[in-house]
Every structure is written in structure tokens, then in C-alpha cells.
Structure 1
């Protein structure tokens, strides 16, 4: 039985008609939410780790996908069609974009190794990108069966008469043929056993092939609208995928060229964080965590380009939970054996409400609470008052663990009594309000570390463990679905126990960390190990001072700004830790009358080290304390 959760969507399916039903509309709306239509008008550098969904979004807005969806939106994916209409990518049921995804293959990188001057190599790169984009646009248009190439009009700027003649833009057939000739000429140079001399490159170098600077749109007449003389305008868009495969200087050349304001087509450059400067990356992260009502740096009109992160830090777990449920339902529908058993949603499989300690462990916990009650010499009235703060619906083991925390807090605040002192007070010093959900969460975490009680289970935990990363959610879910499939094959009840979920997620988290191979990953692991030990020690204190526990180190913002402004080892280590979600960057966090920069341990290492997945619990430190965690 095949498990689609174990494969990336863009690898699992190639045809738009098969891919589109699996795509959730929510991430697309999230992606466009901050910068909106500017993402289609300016150079947008889309940055994300492998599997974060960059290519999936690119595939969705490619013309063949839009045309497929427009033909039958209700049957294929109604929610996605509505979302694309809201974004004006579909207008009146018709695509408004002519997007083509251009992967940076080894041929593009090979241009850098040619024995020419830097300016000539840059010219070859631009010619190759533009010619392949033009050919890609025409291939996309050819996917529409009823569309004739002679119906296409290439619209250029009003002051580009000479350019139209050079580019042969008056005839779509000649326009494409000219692009094919340029592409072939560059390809021959790249693949030649002996590179031709610079003098032999005159055909390419002397004829400036600058399609992007002159073309504005494709106009398709008598298509879809059906009325003679009517037309549909399509905005050409080039999506340069895997741009990190280029040489760093090539990447910089590509970026500086595409950000020119006289280029009117849409253009995205999609890459991993490795090729983006730490300063730009942190600025983008800081932008993501600002409140919606504030002016965001980089969004004002006229900016040269937009740096867009695929995994912003400010998305709430509740919002991602909606995405996770939608995606899981779409993937589960593709597993026939599970569909036949009416298994259509993950929450029904994962959520458990009656997880409890074994009888012997519960008795051990009860004895420890009773013993401390006696040692603390707190009055029965105070103890009863503390017990009354715990909701009656709380499970017995959680209630005992929460009471133990309350007793410790009360004892810490109560002046110690001498042998001849009067009876203790009957009024609790810690208040009488009902305990918070965060304290109960901390009690569960302490039960996990003390008795091995399952903690990482259920749909909510799975969503939190995904760090707002769709691919990470699919990978974590895939391991759980593997276990479910095994049970179904063996004719056992199709559900996963809390302990099984907990064990699977912890084992997979350790495996993922072992597989890390990004730059500075060894130093990142050293940093995480030191941070996690301190966070765990604070979490397991008997009085749970941070309620649900700690999973972050807080450095004063002004101190962190100083180190990030310098180029040194810690800056590079933090850059790759942020980029690959080993750490989450939370700047400008206001607490206790100060502004902090939180370095929050990512979800995968948090599970591996047994920490909370909730945000907010942090340990105050200084920069020197953080640097001490790095080995020489």
C-alpha cells in the first residue's frame, strides 16, 4: 500500500490534474498575504529550506496548472480556484499569468566556468535564461489544445519599435524561432569540448537579447471569451528555481539584473538560505514577526526587490492547524485502503483523551505529593484551597502533578516556621485563581520526564511539531501513517496509541537531526545541546516557574544587534540555525519591561530533547553566555 505522505508532492505527481487536488489553498493565501500583488510586479527572491513548498507554489501558478484548474475548478479544487481568484491570478475563470518555472540546471552553473571575462559570462547567462523562458512560455501555451500560436500577440513597450524588429516580435513564430536560435547557440558554447574564443561569440554578444526589458504581456485573441476580436492579456512570468545552484557571484549578477525597474514581467528567484546574506535574511525574519498594523520595512513602493521567506516566524499554531487538517485530508483520500475504512481525517486517528499513568506509577506520584504536604507543614485549609484551583475535569495524574507544582510554589513563598512557631496561615500566598492551561502543560511535561508518560501525540502536537513547514508536517505524518497502514494490513483497529505516536515522533526527530548536513551543522548541534540542557533544567524545577517550560534563550535586543552587525563565527552559526529551523528568530520580544531577542529551539530539536513546543518560556542570558556554548 503506497503512502503518499512519504513523497514530496512535486515528485509524487507530474500532471496538474493530479497535483492540484492535493494542494491546500491556505499556504498560497499566506504566501501572498504580506506583499500581495507586488510579488508579481517586482523581483521577488523566495527563500526557503528544502521541502518548504517553494516549488509547489511555483507549479500551482504555472500556466498549464492555471489552465487546467480554470477548465473545471469545482471538480479539481474549488477552494484553490477561489483563492487564486482572490489574488487575481485567475480573472473571470481565466488565467492572468503566463508563468514558467525554469530550474537552474548544471548548464547554467557551467557558464561561470567558461574562460571568458565576467561581463561576457553574465551576457551568456542572461541570454540563456531569457531564451529558455520564452521557449517555456510557448510550451505552456501549447498545452491549451484549442489555442493557435497565430492568435498570440506579443505586446512590448511603446518606445520599443527597434527592439520589436530585432526580437521579431511582430510574428509569434519568428519570435519563438529567434529565441530557439539564441538558446541553441549558448548551449553549444556551454557543451563544447573546447570553448570558442571570445571573437567567435559575436553572434550572441553583439546582438543584445533583452526580451525581459521590452516585453510587457502576451495577448491571446479569440481564446476562452470566444467573441471575435476579443482577447485575454497574460502577464509573462519567469520563475528561476533552485538559484542556489549558481555560483554566488552568478546569483548576485542574476539578482542585480532582474531587479531593474524597466523590467515589467513577473520574476521570482527561488533559492535556499545559503546564498542569501545573513543581514538580508534576518531583516526578512524581523519583518515577518512585526504586527500586522505596523509599517513593514521593505514593503513601500519603489523598493528594488522583495525578499520573501517561505516559513515566517509569526504564523500561529492555530492557523497552521487549519492547513495541516486540510492537507492531511487530501492525502488520506489518496490511500484507498484507508478511505474504504472511512479514515478521512488525522485527528480521529491521533487524538486521545484518556492517557494516564499506570496504577503503580499513579500511586508513586500520590505518595510523593502526600509526603511533601507533610514536610511543607502547610495547613489543610491552604492545601484544600490549592486543590480547588485545579478543574474537576482534570485527569487524576495531571491533577496530582499540578497540585505538586502549586504546593512547591506556595512553600517557596511561605516564611519557614520554627519548632515553636504558631500554626501556619490559612490563606494561600499564591492566590486562588484557577490554574492556567500552560501550568497543566508543564505538569504533563514533568510526567513525561519522570514516568515516561506520552507527551508528543495528537493533532495539535503534530501541528506544533511542524514549525509551520508543510513538508515537515507531511514527513512527520508520513511516519505515523506508515504505522497505521501496518495495523490495517494486519486487520487490527485503525488507530494509533498515544505512546506509539510519541515514540515515532521522537525517533524521527533524532533521525532528522542526525541527517543535518548544512554548513556549520556540527556547531549548531553544540549550541542546541547547551541551550536544551539549560531549558530542560528550568522546565523540570519542582515549582515549574515558567509553567509550560522553557525552549528559548533570551538575549537583550541591543546586545544581540551588536553581534549580528559584526561578521564572526557566531553570526554565521546563527544564520544557518535560523535558515534551517534549528532555531527560530524572535526579535523585539517585550517582557519584564525590556526588549529581548529570543533564540527559540526549533520543533524538531525540541522533541528530540523533550522540551515544550509552546512559545514564550525563555531563560535570560547574555551574549557571552551564549558564546560559551560553542566549542572551539
Structure 2
């Protein structure tokens, strides 16, 4: 079998059982369960926004009726219990039974083509809306037939309002009549959209333009079991995936229409982050940005549940949750590979969590000589050096890290010497023995991290290795994780096939080398809008962060990986630097950079413009969050030559 890490989860969509075997329910628990507890997942429009690879289509596929039916029937699946629990917590299942009939409609180029038709805007919009509704009804009814196990006559439409006019326009309450009507509407509108030359408006069939609003009529779908008195009811759910493929005005009209309170069918719209305006992307203000035309139009901000698949509030929890999810996903994918099954290997972490590798003995001697020179130049007495060495030893006695090699201790000692020298008055050598620093010089995990970063740049000491590093480099994005992991899994598989003497596990140095090389390749392969200018921003931030990280005192410990812009300044970027705002939008939308709002420190509030995980790895920076360089909006704009507000 080919390496499943090199496939996206959506490539398994044709086989529900294969898809379910690799999918993880973590996003449902993290992003959807809280909304379900608030009761706002199925009673109004839900807009799900995320970057490519964040799991939008995976979630849409999991909520399909057919997928849930496969899950319900396949009892031997390893993750079955967890998936059913997640779907139950989100309200799609109850007591192991399906209660939501979901269908996924990908909004590909076919729907955008309707915007090019030579008709008035209301006609173009109405045709697309009718087509979507007809296809949703067809999908719901086909799903409930369960591969022809039951007939359409066993399915009943439960209307919100049983008025004759409403029922007539959808075909009635019987499954057979509603299905027939939906097929007629779908067929007529498809003919219009697919025609090489659009028919004249006055020649369009009345069937295509007559009233057809099943979303406003259908409240429930009821199934009568043949030969039994049992009745099942389902909440209809349509999931419109890839809405960013539409024309921007189509998206606006679609959201406004779906947000109307008259709609009874549940409606979810999934779209990429970069489909939003710069202000919405940078300031998390989707609801404020959605247009509200006139006083009588729907107030979308009150009618929409917005779910961002990148949480900005508790990022530490999100990182921990992603590590758990990624481990589960990696192990499931690994079990799909026969090479690892035959070898009894079921955990990727066991192959990657290797001990740190210190620098060579020769380089360690060189570092020791440099340290003596530093001690001499800074006039650090031997007694002070011994105190600093004891401080480092005390730190490692209580530290969780197992990387306490001599090279790390020497690099930490060098940093502490520079800090000591900076914090005491400049005096003679003998006077320095009695001098106390203005602030205590102490060893901690930040100093250790700074030492390892400096050793990486000076002596090529491996820094990026292990399962947690692989997860953190992925910026909480499943697709990036699979791309990075795929590189390492291929190496492990080759070692098994060749019966390599060291075994399938990868050394720290090999992981470090391969991950940095893969990160550089991924950046070179960026193909999104404004990628050249995004690259200028990434390169500019990285260069200044590296310079700071390599300062002798390691003043920001492991070093910064972000620019910190005063929050008030950042909020004005869309109006003062619109070009910069547009570039930042695409950088955020494709995981090149991340934006952390309202970061409070140094008696001020900042917005952090952070490098994405693969950029951090390419340039050799720390994954530790919170350290930043104080900059202004103008400094950020200078990176792309956009200095004029």
C-alpha cells in the first residue's frame, strides 16, 4: 500500500469504512461540542471557517447520513465508540441512533458559473438557490433509502407549515412526490447552467423559476419502518462545502439567504479563512463584516453561529489537544501500512522519541575554549563561575528534560556569564568577586532552550526531533502534520525493508535534517495569492528573530518568533495599510503566519504576528510562544515596501 500519510483524509471519501478508520473526532469535541451545548448548531445558519487542511471537509463527511450509518453498522472499528460519543455530544446521534440526516454539497465551479449567466442578479441567485435545495432533497431521500433497503413511500416529509401552497411547490409530503419534484427542478436548472450558450430568459422553463423553497417547508424527515410500527425522525442538515469557490457576491447572497429565520432545515457553510475580508481574517470579526443591507434585511450577526477552526483563546490547551489528536491519527495511519504491521510497530512516537545528540567531543573542546575566553574577557572570577555551574546543576536536578549533556551546560554557562557581567558594575577582576548582580542570575528552562538554539546555529546540534516537535511544527493543522510525518515515515519504512542495522527508529540528527529540509520545500511550494509578499514578511520577521535569539545574553531565552504590534495600531492596519492587510490575510489563511490578539505583557496590549510552524523550523527558531520583538505597523509594512499609510 502507498504511504497513507501522503494522502489527504478526503481522498478516502469514496469508502466510508476506510475514511472512518483514519478519522479522529477531536475537532468535534473541541469546536462543535461547546456550540451544541448552547443549542446553536442545528437551529440556525452555522459558518465554519478554517485554513486548508484544518479538517473542514473531514467534518462535513463525518456528518453525512451514509457515513454515520456505516459507523453504526461496523461494530469492529477501533475508534467506533469515540466517534459515536463525539457525534452524540454534537447532537447528530442519540443513544447510538442517528437523529440528523446530513448531506454534503461541494460548491465547486459549476455553481460559480451561474454568476456568469446573462440574467438579472435575482434570477441568477434564485436559480442557484433552487438547485442547491433540489440536490439537498435528493441527497436526503436517497440516503434514507439506505441503498434501496426501503422505498421512498416509507419516507414522509414533516412540514413546518402544512399550508397547501407551500406543500404543492415542494411536491407534497410523500417521499416519492418530493423526490420527483426535486429531480425535475434539478434537471431543468442543470440544463441551463450546463448549456454552451445560455438560453434566453423568456425561454427558460417555468419549472426552473417557479417558487421552490424546501428549506423553508421541511422541518423533519420521518421514516415508517415497513412491517413495523416503529417511526424514526431526522433533522435535515445540508453542509455546503468549499463556499470560497463562489463569487464573493454569491457568498454574500448565499449567507444572507441561509440566515433567514424562515429556514427550518439545518444549514452549515464551510469556507476557507482567506475568503474573508482582511479585517475579518485579522481581527476575527466575521459577523461584523457580513453585510446587512437595509433596515429590513436579516441581521446576520444575530442569526449565525460562527466556528473558527483555529482557536485564539486558549492556545496552550489547543496545542495539547492537537498533540493527542495527531498521535492518534499517526498511529491509525501507521496500522494501514503492511510493512509496519509485519514488524509489530503501531506507534510513530516510539520511532521518533529518541535521545538528544550532543555535539562531537572535538566541538565540545572548542566550546570550552571559547568559554574560557568569554570568562577572561568579561572578567568573571572562578568563584562566580562555580556559583553559576552550581545554579545550572540545581536546575537540571529538578528539570523534566533528559537533555542535560555537557554541551548544553556549557552553552547555558556562557549565557549566564554574559548576564552576570551585564548586571554588575564594571570593576576590576578581584573586586568582581564581591559584587552582586542587580538581579539574580538563575538557570531555568528558558535559558536551556536558548542554549540549545544557539548550539543549533553554531554547531548544527539537532533541535527538531521527537513527536511533540513534529506536532508543534504543524501549527495545529492536520494536513501539515501529515506532510511532515510522511517524510519521516517513508524513511522508517525504507529502514525496515532494507533491514537497516540501527533499526527503524530515526536518530535526532536525521529527524532534524529531514524536517528542516521538508519545511524549506513546503515553503518553496507555496502557491497561494500574494505568496511572494508573504514570503518577504516571513523572511523579514525570521531574520530579526534569529539575530535576537543569538544575542550572547539570550535576553528572550529561546528567542522570539513574532513581531509584537501595539493592539490599537494593528486594528488600524486594514484602513491605514490596506495592501499590507491583504497580504497578511493570505499569510494567515495559509498558515504562513498566525495572529494572536490582545496579548497582555509589559503593561501594554499587543497583537503578535507569529511565524507558522514550518517557517520556525526552516529558520531555526524556538516553538515557545509569547516571546516577540516590539515593532510597529510601519515596521511590518516596510517588509513589503508599503511604508506609506
Class of the TM-score when normalised by the shorter of the 2 chains: over 0.9
Over 6 Å off, 4+ runs: none
CA contact (8 A) 1:123 1:205 kept: no
Shift of 1:333: 0.7
CA contact (8 A) 1:285 1:585 kept: no
1:414 to 416, 420, 424: 424
2:373 to 371, 374, 378: 371
1:333 corresponding residue in structure 2? 335
Shift of 1:143: 2.8
Distance 1:245 1:347, change over 3 A: same
Write the mapping of 1:18-97 to structure 2, written as runs, cut at 5 A: 18-36=18-36, 37-73=39-75, 75=77, 77-97=80-100
Deviations 1:115-148 (CA, angstroms, capped at 9, x unpaired):
1111110111111111111111122223355433
CA contact (8 A) 2:219 2:235 kept: yes
Residue 542 of structure 1 pairs with residue 552 of structure 2: yes
SS in 2 for 1:303: helix
Structure 1: how far apart are the matches of 2:308 and 2:464? 28
Distance 1:260 1:606, change over 3 A: same
SS in 2 for 1:232: strand
Write the mapping of 1:308-327 to structure 2, written as runs, cut at 5 A: 308-313=307-312, 314-316=314-316, 317-327=319-329
2:613 to 603, 613, 620: 603
2:248 corresponding residue in structure 1? 248
SS in 2 for 1:356: coil
CA contact (8 A) 2:356 2:508 kept: no
2:433 to 424, 440, 448: 424
Deviations 1:398-417 (CA, angstroms, capped at 9, x unpaired):
11111111111011111111
Distance 1:128 1:607, change over 3 A: same
2:584 corresponding residue in structure 1? 574
Deviations 1:438-484 (CA, angstroms, capped at 9, x unpaired):
22111111100000011111111101101000111111101111111
Structure 1: how far apart are the matches of 2:637 and 2:34? 34
Structure 1: how far apart are the matches of 2:574 and 2:248? 22
Deviations 1:298-317 (CA, angstroms, capped at 9, x unpaired):
xx998221332223344332
SS in 2 for 1:69: helix
Deviations 1:131-183 (CA, angstroms, capped at 9, x unpaired):
11111112222335543322211111135432112222222111101000000
Distance 1:98 1:383, change over 3 A: same
Residue 626 of structure 1 pairs with residue 636 of structure 2: yes
When the two structures are aligned, how many residues end up with a matched partner?
615
Distance 1:21 1:272, change over 3 A: same
SS in 1 for 2:431: coil
Shift of 1:528: 1.3
Shift of 1:67: 0.9
SS in 2 for 1:422: helix
CA contact (8 A) 1:4 1:12 kept: no
CA contact (8 A) 1:98 1:237 kept: yes
1:449 to 452, 457, 481: 457
Write the mapping of 1:502-517 to structure 2, written as runs, cut at 5 A: 502-517=512-527
CA contact (8 A) 2:519 2:617 kept: yes
Shift of 1:261: 1.2
CA contact (8 A) 2:215 2:265 kept: yes
Deviations 1:363-414 (CA, angstroms, capped at 9, x unpaired):
1111111222233222333222211122256211111111111111011111
2:115 corresponding residue in structure 1? 112
SS in 2 for 1:98: strand
Structure 1 residue runs of 5 or longer lacking an equivalent are 288-299
SS in 2 for 1:389: helix
CA contact (8 A) 1:381 1:426 kept: no
Structure 2: how far apart are the matches of 1:598 and 1:407? 31
Deviations 1:70-108 (CA, angstroms, capped at 9, x unpaired):
224553522111221222211121111111111123321
SS in 1 for 2:315: coil
2:218 corresponding residue in structure 1? 215
CA contact (8 A) 1:379 1:425 kept: no
Distance 1:427 1:480, change over 3 A: same
SS in 1 for 2:564: strand
1:475 corresponding residue in structure 2? 483
Shift of 1:619: 0.5
CA contact (8 A) 2:241 2:269 kept: yes
Deviations 1:311-346 (CA, angstroms, capped at 9, x unpaired):
334433222111111111111111111122121111
Calculate the TM-score normalised by the size of structure 1.
0.93
Calculate the TM-score normalised by the size of structure 2.
0.91
Structure 1 stretch displaced more, 344-353 or 544-553: 344-353
Shift of 1:202: 4.8
Structure 1: how far apart are the matches of 2:169 and 2:587? 49
Distance 1:280 1:304, change over 3 A: farther
Residue 8 of structure 1 pairs with residue 17 of structure 2: no
Structure 2 residue runs of 5 or longer lacking an equivalent are 288-298
Shift of 1:502: 1.0
Deviations 1:593-623 (CA, angstroms, capped at 9, x unpaired):
1001110111111111111111011000112
2:293 corresponding residue in structure 1? none
SS in 1 for 2:440: coil
CA contact (8 A) 2:538 2:611 kept: yes
1:135 corresponding residue in structure 2? 138
Shift of 1:286: 10
2:296 corresponding residue in structure 1? none
Structure 1 stretch displaced more, 622-631 or 60-69: 622-631
